[in-house]
Structure 1
Amino acid sequence: MTLRELVVAYFQYYAIQAYLLFAAAATYVAIVYPTTPLRALASVAVAVVFYPLAWYVIHRYVLHGQWMFKSPLTARTWKRIHYDHHQDPNHLEILFGALYTTLPTIALVSIPFGYAIGGVGGAAAAFAAGLLTTCVYEFAHCIQHLSYKPKNKLLAEMKSRHMAHHFHDETGNFGITSFVWDKAFGTLYDRPERPKKSPTVFNLGYTPEVSQTYPWVAKMSGGVETSHPRRRGEDDANDRKAA
């Protein structure tokens, strides 16, 4: 995949278009209800700086927490926003977050801080900054999952660490564009530091045994897949030949 093809695929996705539209609307609100330039800048800065920590906490304790699949009320959401992504990490249609979960989350981690700093204008500026930061994160996420090899050293390192999270050990490297909080909380790793591959890297702990007690994700998924995503096509073909 070329960079141009990646960019085209990125901007065609409805979630990115929605983020940009909401960001434009929030910017309009910030203009109509202005705060001081300093307060507006502070609101934006807080949203951008706080974002990596918010993502780390959500990724580690919500998306990788083993509590959402235990209730029929949250199992469907967990399946859509992260289980399916780890089951098939390079599937474009589930690469981006679902708007019904991402938009409220972005608002929650940006608007209160912005409002405290600059009122309505500050809240709108912070929300716009959070949305645009999400766009940056999602673009980096595309680079990490699609068949594009970045030439930039920093992007290549980001991709390597994120691929290790998806294909080697899911209990570390929770960052996307920043691994500062992984380092701070001891979850940053290079693959040689963890020679043994995690047995739950693709199912996040939702094993066939666990599904016997908490069956909702399995029912929605047609069972529990246990093989490597890249080998499933080969396995299916072999099964058809055997039949």
Structure 2
Amino acid sequence: MSGTLNNASLRTGRSFDLGKMNLRQLWIAYLTYPTILLYFALIIANVAISAHFFAGWLHTLCAVVAVMLVYPVVWYLLHRFVLHGRVLYKIRATSALWKRIHFDHHQDPHLLDVLFGSPLTTLPTIVIITIPIGYMIGGWGCSAAAFGAGITITCIYEFFHCIQHLNYKPRAAWIQRMKAYHVLHHFHDEDGNFGITSYVVDRVMGSFYLDAKARPRSPTVFNLGYDLQEAKNYPWVMDLTGSPPRDRPDGARPKTEKNDSNRRNAA
């Protein structure tokens, strides 16, 4: 798509390439994206429910803080052991789910409409994580506060995730570092730096790495291990994609090809 973002493209629902967008264009896309609008509506609804069944400021605050502490841990575990696991694509019934929730994103990290998680998978997960925590702390009022907090954190995650794939250099040094660590996850070695806004859990679990010098480049960084041989054994994701899995982004060529091209040009 072109770098110009306009209302016509928003209405038609065309895919947005974050590698060709600037920060202003991202804000427009983000604040008008249907999934984000749904999240905003749910946040407002849960604030109202929490106020109706108000459990007191202390209990409500405890519920919100508990979600803030638990959420990064749960995200890490899901990201590392489920999204990067090699089970879902081997089962026909879950292959489409795995393709949608993570494989497509690693195949094309800049594509906005696969970067955002589907509400059909994100919302049930948030419910399972947050509502029991809130209920144990202060009943239904705290459950609504906890669920609202979980959706709010998800919105923050999604925005910073976009920033990490955006053709934009953040001004703040801490956002630059956050972006650099996530870029390593997508373009150097996918078996590390699983966090989005925080890499504390990565450090605790031993999966954090500082730069490309820390470990060799992974051959499966774009296909998550679903290579041509796996696609032959478990073809359902490839069938849905309509093409074999890529081991590098479009336009990239192996070093040997580049060297041969350079030699020909020099000649």
Under a length normalisation based on structure 1, what TM-score does the superposition of the two structures give? 0.92
Q: 2:46 corresponds to which residue?
A: 26
Q: 1:237 corresponds to which residue?
A: none
Q: 1:148 corresponds to which residue?
A: 168
**In the alignment, structure 1 residue 135 sits paired with structure 2 residue 155:** yes
**Would you say the 8 A contact 1:6–1:148 is kept in 2?**
no
Q: Pick from 214, 218, 231: which aligns with 1:193?
A: 214
Q: Secondary structure at the match of 2:49?
A: helix
Distance 1:227 1:118 in 2: 49
Q: 2:7 corresponds to which residue?
A: none
Q: 1:240 corresponds to which residue?
A: none
Q: Pick from 194, 200, 205: which aligns with 1:174?
A: 194
Shift of the alpha carbon at 1:230? 4.1
Q: Secondary structure at the match of 1:231?
A: coil
**Bigger CA drift: 182-191 or 1-10?**
1-10
Distance 2:235 2:243 in 1: 9
**Would you say the 8 A contact 2:231–2:245 is kept in 1?**
no
Shift of the alpha carbon at 1:68? 0.4
Distance 1:127 1:220 in 2: 33
**Would you say the 8 A contact 2:221–2:247 is kept in 1?**
no
Q: 2:91 corresponds to which residue?
A: 71
Q: 2:234 corresponds to which residue?
A: 214
Q: Secondary structure at the match of 1:73?
A: helix
Q: Secondary structure at the match of 1:80?
A: helix
Number of matched pairs: 232
Shift of the alpha carbon at 1:149? 1.3
1:66/1:227 CA distance change after superposition, 3 Å: closer
Q: Secondary structure at the match of 2:110?
A: coil
Shift of the alpha carbon at 1:36? 1.6
Q: 2:262 corresponds to which residue?
A: none
Q: Pick from 121, 136, 141: which aligns with 1:121?
A: 141
Shift of the alpha carbon at 1:72? 1.0
**Bigger CA drift: 91-100 or 79-88?**
91-100
Q: 2:204 corresponds to which residue?
A: 184
Moved over 6 A (4+): none
Shift of the alpha carbon at 1:224? 1.8
1:75-112 Cα offsets, whole Å, 9 max, x none, are 00100010000000001111111110001111111111
Which one-letter code corresponds to 1:183 in the other structure?
R
Distance 1:147 1:109 in 2: 33
Which residues of structure 2 form unaligned runs of 5+?
Answer: 1-20, 254-267
**In the alignment, structure 1 residue 80 sits paired with structure 2 residue 84:** no
Q: 1:103 corresponds to which residue?
A: 123
Shift of the alpha carbon at 1:215? 1.0
Q: Secondary structure at the match of 1:199?
A: coil
Under a length normalisation based on structure 2, what TM-score does the superposition of the two structures give? 0.84
Q: CA RMSD in A?
A: 1.3
Shift of the alpha carbon at 1:212? 1.6
